[in-house]
Amino acid sequence: MPAAAGLPGAEVEGGVEVVDGVDHALALAPPRTRAGARLALGLLRLRSFPRGFAGRPEAWRAGAIATLETSGSMVVRSLVLLLKGLCCAAYAGSPRVLRVLGAAPRCELGPNADPPALPPHLDREAMRPPAGEVESCDVVVVGSGAGGAAAARVLAEAGLDVLVVEEGEYYDALTYSRDPLHALATLYRDGGLTASEGRPPIALPLGRCVGGTTVINSGTCFRAPPGVLRRWREVHGIPWATALDGEYESLERDLAVRLVEPGRAGGNGELCRAGADALGLSNGPIPRNSGGVVCCGTCPMGCALDAKRAMHVSELPRAVAAGARIRAGVRVQKVVVQRGRVSGIVGHSEDTGRYVARAGAVVLGGGAIGTPELLLSQGIANGSGQLGRHLRIQPACWVGARFRGREVRGWDGVMQSWRVDEWLDSGLFLEATFTPPPFGAHWLPGAGEALASGLARYDELAVIGVHLADTSEGRVRAGRGGRARISYRLTRTDAAKLRFGIARAARIHFAAGADEAYPQIGGLGALRPGQEGRVERSLLSPSAMRLEAFHPMGTARMGADAQRSVVAPSGESHEVGGLYIADASILPTALGANPMLTIMACARHIARGLAAELS
């Protein structure tokens, strides 16, 4: 990142420091990710042998990186993209760079917004686990994200004594970091570098804090498509799957879910709407759990106003008001099972050491990665052999487009604002999702001065995310130290569907007046209007795609058949009495929509059944 296009240089006198932030981020990453970073640096050294990479001229170095970024090797491309992503987060997150771009992250309430309560009604000190004390309760809930928090509230309001145990720490609008890499370190699992292995490897950012991934997601709150719920009832034997309307309605009231108002979606959303309308495509505003927020640019680092009703400002305070207790900073290591029934959990706190809680029931809400990770490390609740299998992630692709000479300024509107649901029956859903510079700059092509030039014109970018309800599957296995090892292989069929979606996203951009679009497929450069057909005609393998995923689910799926599922329709393990799961891992199939609301609706239903049984 040289000084160019009005931007300061990186790691030069008077420039922006990048290396220390990247080094810190990698220290928090899984060992395989750190090994990948070392390998990527080795590739650069090898390419410049014998002179050494740092000794080469700046233009040569930029060209070498750009060549590797477009290599025919998936491994090489992925390794370079890893380093580029970290460097861009550190560089583009610098306040100096953001000032030059005019893109300082901010959130604003509209005139009709429901004012958020600040500070949140949770007591940080009350969350500290007691040292050397065994706690007792009726139910211990492991995990405080969408599923765990929703279950905890229902159980506490039913009069049960509830403990919520969370591996991460508590942060709120008063304590979120505005430094992107520091935010990744404090709010995300693995410092934000969780990824699935496979062809291609896919980034899978997950929350690790009180409130879980709801703290860092975009707040989109769709109900599950009715056809999906019917399939759960008819194929997987879940009789209540089509009877969730009451739970959805209650959640939408409690979380202040509103459609983004037309005219307040910002430039990015307006261009998506204009392009879709020009093509006659079904489209509309996205429902979000943030009341009437009209500018929302801090979601990935925690809502600056806590106007987004993440679990730490909504369900968890309600659970605490009903008597629940929260223990933050405790990693649960074991579910205690005696004579075929749970009797509590054992964990560890960095502050107070060993933590033990006794309970008559355990509800796991650690998500589609954390829940199987815990159970597989113990070898329990897996008589069917299905635990950890059937991972769905709803892979997604960032499709940016440049509107030359036009100020889009996507950061001035709602980050995730507009949807195109024309192809929902095919499993494709498109969402106008503007990505702030620290988290989106690495998707711009090139390196060196070319990258700086593209970043300097970030205000001309519009972005559409292409998401797929996948039929491809992955798996979570127990790795070293009990940490999950995640694999996922994108099938050719799903890759073709994604290419179809990418081409349609580019066409929407062009219909709105874009000059070029970036398809994020190795071997394909920027597209000009009329060239989007190249994406569909491409015979490149699935490994050529550059993807992310934000919706893991299905690894402890629910069903009536104990040979094909992990938990019964009640949410209770088929094998271990008193062990319940109430998170994304129980969802039997991909949704074709953002899953937060459905996770919560299912968790509430399961918790009501458990509460009735225990009372």
CA 358 remoteness from chain centre: 32
pLDDT at position 117: 65
Catalytic residue among 312, 551, 574, 605: 551
Q: Share the mean pLDDT of the chain.
A: 94
Report the alpha-carbon distance of residue 187 to residue 301 in Å, rounded: 8
For residues 379-399, give the mean pLDDT: 97
Report the alpha-carbon distance of residue 467 to residue 430 in Å, rounded: 6
Report the alpha-carbon distance of residue 298 to residue 414 in Å, rounded: 10
Give 112's DSSP letter: T
Classify strands 341-349 and 330-338 as parallel, antiparallel or unpaired: antiparallel
Report the alpha-carbon distance of residue 546 to residue 524 in Å, rounded: 11
Per the listing, tokens 């969408």 go with: 146
Report the alpha-carbon distance of residue 43 to residue 35 in Å, rounded: 12
Alpha-carbon distance values, 169 to 129, 142, 143, 163 (Å): 12, 14, 12, 15
For residues 19-48, give the mean pLDDT: 90
Report the alpha-carbon distance of residue 409 to residue 458 in Å, rounded: 8
Which of 19-33, 52-66, 572-586 has the highest average model confidence (pLDDT)?
A: 572-586
pLDDT at position 296: 86
pLDDT at position 547: 96
- % of the chain exceeding 70 in pLDDT: 99
pTM of this prediction?
0.96
Provide the total of helices (H) and of strands (E) in the chain, helices listed first: 17, 21
pLDDT at position 44: 87
Alpha-carbon distance values, 499 to 166, 202, 261 (Å): 39, 16, 30
> pLDDT digit string (tens) for 291-337?
888 888 899 999 999 999 999 999 999 999 999 999 999 999 999 99
In the predicted structure, residue 535 carries a pLDDT above the cut 90 = yes
Greatest CA separation for the chain: 74
CB 292 within 8 A of CB 261: yes
- Token pair in block for residue 500: 């179809």
Reported as type and span, the H/E element at residue 478 is: strand 474-478
Report the alpha-carbon distance of residue 344 to residue 139 in Å, rounded: 8
pLDDT at position 118: 59
pLDDT at position 297: 86
pLDDT band at 10 (very low <50, low <70, confident <90, very high): very high
Active site residue 442: no
In the predicted structure, residue 99 carries a pLDDT above the cut 70 = yes
Query: Which are the contacts of 331, defined by CB distance < 8 A and separation ≥ 6?
Result: 167, 347, 348, 349
pLDDT band at 49 (very low <50, low <70, confident <90, very high): confident
pLDDT at position 522: 87
In the predicted structure, residue 442 carries a pLDDT above the cut 70 = yes
For residues 264-279, give the mean pLDDT: 95
Q: What angle do CA 442, 512, 549 make, to 5 degrees?
A: 35
pLDDT at position 262: 81
> pLDDT digit string (tens) for 64-87?
998 988 888 899 999 999 999 999
CB 126 within 8 A of CB 329: no
pLDDT band at 474 (very low <50, low <70, confident <90, very high): very high
> pLDDT digit string (tens) for 551-592?
999 999 999 999 999 999 999 999 999 999 999 999 999 999
CA 438 remoteness from chain centre: 16
In the predicted structure, residue 533 carries a pLDDT above the cut 80 = yes
Report the alpha-carbon distance of residue 146 to residue 406 in Å, rounded: 39
For residues 3-12, give the mean pLDDT: 93
CB 602 within 8 A of CB 149: no
- % of the chain exceeding 90 in pLDDT: 83
Q: Alpha-carbon dihedral of residues 590, 592, 597, 602, nearest 10 degrees?
A: -30
pLDDT at position 119: 58
